[in-house]
Chains A and B, each alone.
Chain A
Amino acid sequence: MGRELFLSGNEACALAAYDSGCLFASGYPGTPSTEILENLGTYNSVNTSWATNEKVALELCIGASFAGRRSLAVMKHVGVNVAADPLMTLSYTGIKGGLVIVTCDDPGMHSSQNEQDNRHYALFAKIPMLEPSSSAEVYNFLTAAFYISEKFDTPVLFRLTTRICHSHSRVFPGKKSELPASGFTINNQKYVMIPAWARMRHVFIEKRLALLEKFSCSSKFNIFEKGAGSRLIITSGISYQYVRENFINLPVLKLGMTWPFPAEKVRKISCRFKEVMCVEELDPFLENACLVSGVNNIIKRPKNFYIGELNPERVKALLVNFKDFIKPVKQNIPAARPPALCRGCPHAFMFEIFRDYGLIVAGDIGCYTLGTLSPYNALHACIDMGASIPVGLALRAASAGKQKNKIISVIGDSTFFHSGITGLIDAVYNKRSGLIVILDNRSTAMTGGQDHPGTGKTLPGNISVRLDIEKIVRACGVNRVFQVDPFKKTETAAVIKKSLALKEIVVIIATRECIIYGPQKR
């Protein structure tokens, strides 16, 4: 018997990448994806990095792939939005070394600002997608994903969800492959997407999709499990486990490769049943694909099921009663304790000041987003990483009267590097005015304290250059920059107060390291 390990989906993903001879990996932290790169970072032979953001991460992987290296780009679902620009055209160029993009979706929004269903990116970018349903499948599918990428000259979307990333189960690892780098081969018609050559590549893409669909129909990713009854269940990912948890005998078509949709196979199997139902999390992705493929005995799920994470009881209710599961209401049950800023967190001191001054805060994403909750109630808008600066400044510009001078932007250090700088340059260039507070806790705290360009360390723990936020801010053309210490509340409050009404861009950098993940703590 071979080796048997007990791994989370994320750990299995890292091990599979390593065993597949992947030597280049990059991403930006984001729950539930973070542990994949943290684990890969423990292998010295793999060039692993936290990129400044997901777009940069994917572009790095593209470069490595063009040099013939297998590479892995890792991000949470919303990270793919940031990386979508290179992704859409990467589909055209194709790859050289296998390139897999891991998207970690978060149905139920355990720690995300939305629950977008990234399966649509496979359809949108016209690239193949794999959806494992356990750690063992994460391992096996990722190994196969590199092969598919190289065989079909395409990036592969590897879609995990929180429940797959963060659940542990058995894994049976295989052998490690060693692959020599083949180097870059000049081929402008493939790698330079000017319109004339991109048009040719689009023709290639459509052919590739047809080939992939054939491959998908005959592949071992998509398996029909016989059972009793006149209703076929089509499912993928974690939903498969919930179906089997409840009903061991139902006929199930389990899809591991969900794009391109194995239309022919699904049609052939479906017509042997009276009815077909797709059990899937979030959007009716499989359902729609079935309809488009001409499967006309589909029963559509009630729309409730487009919302939130599935679990065994919701799937049972769907299959038995065609209804959603509602937890019975019982008296005197305490509510779940919501997360809060830690005791002694430097952000807390800042939010007390914002609250006491009655400020309107255009916020950003990080631990400090919790400033919106009691006892602060002092963060009033939060959209996506980096949004605080443009949203806050325009909110201020478009407001009138007394409110105007109460509006500020608040952003964390990691978020500033990720996508705050572009907004700041816009602000200076377009002569906007307003106060921007950068909460510098020397850490990417929300996701578990990862390093970033301002910490002076890289993902594998090597010492690097520490980029100075103040110097960057000044280089962007900001003349009024103040350094404050959140623990010196009176002084900090005074600086904020005098900055509110200035008719230019003012940046306050509030520096105090995170009490859990600050550099001194690690």
Chain B
Amino acid sequence: MGQIDLIDISKSYDKQKNVLDEINLSIEEGEFFVLVGPSGSGKSTLLRMIAGLEDITSGTLKISDKIVNHLPPKDRNLSMVFQNYALYPHLSVEQNILFGLGAKKVNKKEQQKRLAETAEMMGLSELLNRKPKELSGGQKQRVALARSVVSEAPLCLMDEPLSNLDAKLRAQMRIEIRRLQKRLGLTMVYVTHDQVEAMTMGDRIMVLNDGKIQQVGKPITLYNEPENLFVASFIGSPKMNMGKAVYSMNQNQLVIEDTLRIAQGPDMDDIPGNIDLTVGIRAEHLLPGTAENTTHHLEAVNVEQLGNETLIAFDVGSTLWMAKWLGQWDVQVGEMVPVHIDSGNFCFFDSNTGLLIKSANFVKEQEVVSI
């Protein structure tokens, strides 16, 4: 149970513009599958189509190898947490949680047992007699989660279930959900805006933009080898530093944003010189320069002390590049700071197509290490 296949799925609300466009995707049984994308990219729509709340305009949807395009939600054996909670305002927390079990005529003893377990796990035991309007946003969200958990459906769809929790509770719920999913072997489709959630929870991530799949893969793959500029700028926080790059006249230097000059290294041999390039470098690869290895001096325009690390924004031509340095660095705004940039850490993209030409080198090094 629980394997989902989407074959050429498209959706359009007004018969003109496709909100989702030719989605092909296979979600494995027991997988934690995360869906990310900017607002309006069609994440909720995709989830609602899997749930059966939205008609599929074209394409085939299979759940456990059976075509379910025509099945109503109740026959798909899944649970869902809605973006707006969808709690029943006239029912108490307890009645809300048990609503589905009542509908499926689960016996009373079993209901109470599951209720007690779930309420305990979600920290709702004290709130069972309250009405939804007497709950805070975070508490409502936990009730919505509890409602989905209590159903024990093998397939669980969640639409930004943690967006209203505070940081501490969110971290805790993240672990709870992940543990629950592992323990029950749930297949999970999880929509989120949160980078940390996407990176830490997902077995695989799918990045959606404007109804089109940008990339599907392991979180770390998306981070290290983004297939295009969109994924590169979307995954990771702070986002990847980008800049337009051209080769200098004599082909031995790469000029980024008309300011940074990088010496032609062995890493760049296979980069074609005759196309518009965009280079990207992660904030953690913009290193502090020591006396020996300083390659450039950049002007710091903003400094954020996070305690264990320091975020520094540098002025690079028309854009800002963020550097993330471990520890506390005493950098003044306006100061020219020595930095070390290794050309091996650059990702190269074709500016016109947006596609990746070559990812950063360190990936390969690390893969060697991990083998």
A and B form one complex? no
Spell out B's residues near A (CB within 8 Å): none
Spell out A's residues near B (CB within 8 Å): none
